[in-house]
Amino acid sequence: MVNQEVNLGGLRLSNPVMSASGTFGFGEEFQDYLNFERIGGIVVKGTTLLPRQGNPYPRMAETPSGMLNAVGLQNKGVDYFVQHIYPRIKQYPTALLVNVSGSTVEDYAETARRIQDLEHIPGIELNISCPNVKEGGMAFGTSAAGAEAVVKAVRKVYHKHLMVKLSPNVTDITEIARAAEAAGADSVSLINTLLGMSIDAEKRKPHLSTITGGLSGPCVKPIALRMVWQTSKAVRIPIVGLGGISSATDAVEFLLAGASAVQVGTMNFIEPGIIETIADGLVAYCERHKVARISDLTGALEVVGSSPLSCETK
């Protein structure tokens, strides 16, 4: 029997495979497709203090092995979540985290405060990395000072698990990770989408209403893996790895690179039952490799030879 449980700095997950925010709705959308007991955790759709309409259509462009999105945090606001959605989903047999976003430090803190007392929400994921909203979002996640300010403010009012989702749209992600850790984050999740662009050459027009958007899917996996590995060398708090995971093998790679858990995002759109498939595949991998606990894979990458080049980018 493989022990699948992981401990993210006090937040216990039945297995390390979570859903990434914005790709799994509130879970309800997926009830036809998988057994929720096989989901390590669900990070629900990005929630802001006030309702947001999001960006105009078109918001999506397909790319080779991935897609661009420019949804822009469409959501009905935290109060709607607390009153209408939470009662419907609170009994799910999995860890429920709310992804919190905002335009100001005060927005983030107030949204977090309103989620604080929900019994079945053991933590939040602070989104300081959304590339699709004009103010805030990514702005906080692209400087160490910005990240520190917002994490500190939320830490003051929020006393459960605080996960901080990092942006890859930076020169050195480890600097932001360290700032989040210093400000009191319990874990970091990475990566959010990469800022990208797509053009319709025939029409000479951008595909997205916002011109640029966030790239996700298998095409970003090598970048995500590299950033997880770098970050694992820079912080002591647990890392949740995500970016293009589409198989159990991908998930193993993230664990080996230093992640304690993973999130599956864009692939939920194509295979709505994929989280269960990956969770089962992790067990099979461990059995095949005689690994007793999935958590033993975290950081178990075997590196031979001299100091790797990527460390010199600092």
Partner 1 sequence: MHHKNSHVVDCRLDQIKYLSERYVLMLFTLPFRILGMLPGQFAQVRIDGAENTFLRRPISICFVPSPTEIWLLVQVVGEGTKKLASLQAGSIVNMVLPLGKSFSIPMDRRRPLLVGGGVGVAPMLFLGKQLMDTGLYDKSSIHFLLGARSKSDLVLLEEFEKYGTVHCTTEDGSYGTKGYVTQHPILQNQSFDQVYTCGPKPMMQAVARYAAEKEIDCEVSLENLMACGIGACLCCVEDTTEGHLCTCTEGPVFNTKRLKW
Which residue ranges make up the site for partner 1 (CB under 8 A)?
Answer: 22-25, 29-33, 45, 53-54, 56-60, 62-67, 69, 71, 74, 217-218, 268-273
Measured from the Cβ of residue 241, the count of other Cβ atoms closer than 10 Å reads 32
Alpha-carbon gap, residue 127 to 164, rounded angstroms: 6
Residues 229, 301 contacting (CB under 8 angstroms)? yes
- Quick one: 30 or 81, whose CB is closer to partner 1? 30
The least distance separating partner 1 from the CB of residue 71, rounded to whole angstroms, comes to: 5
Show Cβ contacts of residue 179 under 8 Å, excluding neighbours closer than 6 positions.
144, 145, 147, 148, 151
How far is residue 257's CA from residue 65's CA, in Å, rounded to a whole number?
A: 22
DSSP letter (8 states) at residue 38: G
Judged by beta carbon, residue 57 or residue 307, the one nearer partner 1 is 57
Helix or strand run (H / E) with residue 189 = strand 187-190
Q: How far is the CB of 283 from partner 1 (least distance, A)?
A: 21
How near is the Cβ of 13 to partner 1 at its closest, in Å? 21
Which residues touch 300 (CB under 8 Å, ≥6 apart)?
A: 255, 256
In angstroms, the CA 15 to CA 12 distance is: 9
Question: Which DSSP state fits 293?
Answer: B
Closer of 65 and 249 to partner 1 (Cβ): 65
- Residue reference for tokens 């259509």: 57
Is 311 tagged catalytic?
A: no
Which of residues 75 and 232 has its CB atom nearest to partner 1 in the complex? 75
Which of 130, 219, 286, 311 is catalytic? The answer is 130
**Closest approach of partner 1 to the CB of residue 5, in Å:** 25
Task: Tell me how far, at minimum, the Cβ of 142 lies from partner 1, in Å.
Answer: 24
**For residues 38 and 155, which CB has a smaller minimum distance to partner 1 in the complex?**
38
Secondary structure (3-state) at 197: strand
Question: Which of the residues are catalytic?
Answer: 130
